[in-house]
Amino acid sequence: MASEAGRTFQRFAVFGESSSNGTEINNKNFSKLCKDCGIMDGKTVTSTDVDIVFSKVKAKNARTITFQQFQEAMKELGQKRFK
């Protein structure tokens, strides 16, 4: 995860989570990442859109997503935000 996206993922994954090792991110921090990075604009991409995409890419019964799942989520949100 040496890419800028990987470093950003890790920073937000551990934000406020002392038990996190930075390999998975929860929905709260994923939403914060989307808001702080300008992906969630409140018009074309809302907090509801972010929650739906998070739920769609995560494993069943999981509470977090991996970097690979994060990349899938970014692809979906990017297509919605910049169509």
| pLDDT value of residue 82 | 85
Give the angle 60-62-67 at the CA atoms, nearest 5°: 105
The CATH number given to whatever domain includes residue 31 is: 1.10.238.10
Structure tokens at 17: 């989570």
Structure tokens at 24: 């998975």
pLDDT digits (tens, 9 = 90+) for 46-70: 999 999 999 999 999 999 999 999 9
Range of the domain at 44: 4-81
- 3-state DSSP assignment of residue 81: helix
Distance between CA atoms of residues 51 and 66, nearest Å:
15
pLDDT digits (tens, 9 = 90+) for 34-48: 999 999 999 999 999
What is the count of structural domains for the chain? Answer: 1
User: pLDDT class for 19, splitting at 50, 70, 90?
Assistant: confident
8 Å CB contact between 65 and 72 = no
Structure tokens at 53: 């995409």
